[in-house]
Structure 1
Amino acid sequence: MKNIKSRIQFSKQEQSGIFFLLLFIVLLQGGYYLYDKNYSKPLEDKFVLNLSEQNKLDLLKKGVANKKSIIHPFNPNFISDYKGYTLGMSVDEINRLHTYRKTNKYVNTAIEFQQVTKISDSLLKRIQPYFKFPEWKQEKTKELFVSKKDKKSDYIKKYKDLNIATSVDLREVYGIGEVLSKRIVKYRKKLGGFSNNNQIYKVYGLKPDVANRLLEKFQVLKASNIKN
């Protein structure tokens, strides 16, 4: 027995090693407990917080999407960064408009807006119906863009063609009776048709003031090839 007891006795060095091993195990377990207590739960709370923030962001995005679908009439000269974003414009397109406006210039038509911003035809087609320019700008634009065809149409509506007027038509003018009206038609036939309004003054017996009244109703709308 004495021999067995002597065998299981440890030296001081061995005892110290065993002690430090046990101490390391205890510290390791304590550290794991503290880590599990202090970090695991906050991580869960942090995840819940991020989920809440994400829900807020989703709601904001949904709100922006809804605003994009509802467009109210607006003056395109005063588009803000946010307004441009909701309309579908890029940053460069918005900046081009702002740079143009800094020169104290305004766009007055949808075409001018596209020329300045360089937006696509599809985007212009989508937002153009909501453009609202000042009324005085619209009236001025209408005057500037009256075509030559429209002017000619108004001119034709105001006057009757002197080259196709009958003697009866000419008698509508005060001072022109049966004799003068037939003389005018005869002179026109002789010329092969009037080439300009001034030729009416050459009709024999037609006074200048009567000729002036005649030209207030009749004009050479389709001139002949006859030269003066």
Structure 2
Amino acid sequence: MPPTWLTDLSWAALALAGASAVWIARDQWVRGHRQQMRIMEVVWPVTALYYGPVAVWGYRRFGWPKSPQWRAERRLEHAPERPRWSGVATGVSHCGAGCTRGDLCAEWAVFGFGATIIGLSLLPEYIGDYILALAFGIAFQYFAIAPMRGLGLRAGLLEAAKADVLSLTSFEVGLFGWMALVQLVLFPHHLRPDHAAFWFLMQVGMIVGYFTAWPTNVWLIRRGIKEAM
């Protein structure tokens, strides 16, 4: 079992992240600060599941100006100017939201079925995480790119794949490296999805993945493969 201090820290971090996600969701769907790009109404709360209050800060600074109602309340015709890096930051969050949803589903599925390869659950987790993250990631990109460019289903999915596969893979490289360190070195055979510490350390891994995906997103945006969001 993980040490008590880690368990306590994990529950606190998970509670804070959950509260952050609820706050963002309530602000959008109850207070009416709906996003101009609808898929971002999913991206922001999911990002809060691992970034917690940092996601709330990002949402208030970069998400609010994308809300027509928020601008109307302040009598602004256009969104305030924002720093160039914010487009990359939001784009990585968009990619990370797909990864996060895929990882959540896959981790519970692998745990529920007791799947192992060469006696380790880590390899099935990698496979499940990547496949589901790819599915969610491409879907998220499709609902961002297709409406923006006026694309049909086939063309939209192709462009979504071009924009997301490299970004998502870069995100998972960071996450998978962290997962290997945790499960093989720091807490070998001691952490499972029914422990709070498992999900707290997954939060850390997703933050690591966020930064390993950053350079790839900069490159994709500069090449025009992915839109700055």
Give TM-score scaled by structure 2 length: 0.19
Bigger radius of gyration among the two: 1
The structure with the greater share of residues assigned to helix is: 2
TM-score, length basis structure 1: 0.19
Structure with greater contact order relative to length (CA < 8 Å, sep ≥ 6) = 2
